[in-house]
Structure 1
Amino acid sequence: MLALTRKKGESLVINNNIEISILEVRGDQIKIGITAPKDVPIYRKEVYKQIQEENRASVSAEGLEALKKML
Structure 2
Amino acid sequence: MLVLSRQRDESIIIGDNIVITIVDIRGDKVRLGIQAPTEIPVHRQEVYDAIQRENAMKEAEAQRTPSQSPSKNASE
Count of residue correspondences = 66
Instruction: Give every structure 1 segment of 4 or more consecutive aligned residues whose post-TM-superposition deviation is greater than 6 Å.
Output: none
What is the distance in 1 between the residues matched to 2:16 and 2:7?
21
**By how many angstroms is 1:58 displaced?**
1.2
Could you tell me which residue of structure 2 aligns to residue 7 of structure 1?
A: 7
Q: Which structure has the larger Rg over C-alpha atoms?
A: 2
More helix by share: 1
What is the distance in 2 between the residues matched to 1:12 and 1:59?
36
Aligned residue type for 1:18 = I
> What's the Cα RMSD here?
1.5
Question: Please, which runs of 5 or more residues in structure 1 have no aligned partner?
Answer: 67-71
What is the distance in 1 between the residues matched to 2:20 and 2:4?
12
**By how many angstroms is 1:56 displaced?**
0.5
Could you tell me which residue of structure 1 aligns to residue 31 of structure 2?
A: 31
What is the distance in 2 between the residues matched to 1:27 and 1:39?
33
Could you tell me which residue of structure 2 aligns to residue 57 of structure 1?
A: 57
TM-score, normalising length: structure 1? 0.85
TM-score, normalising length: structure 2? 0.80
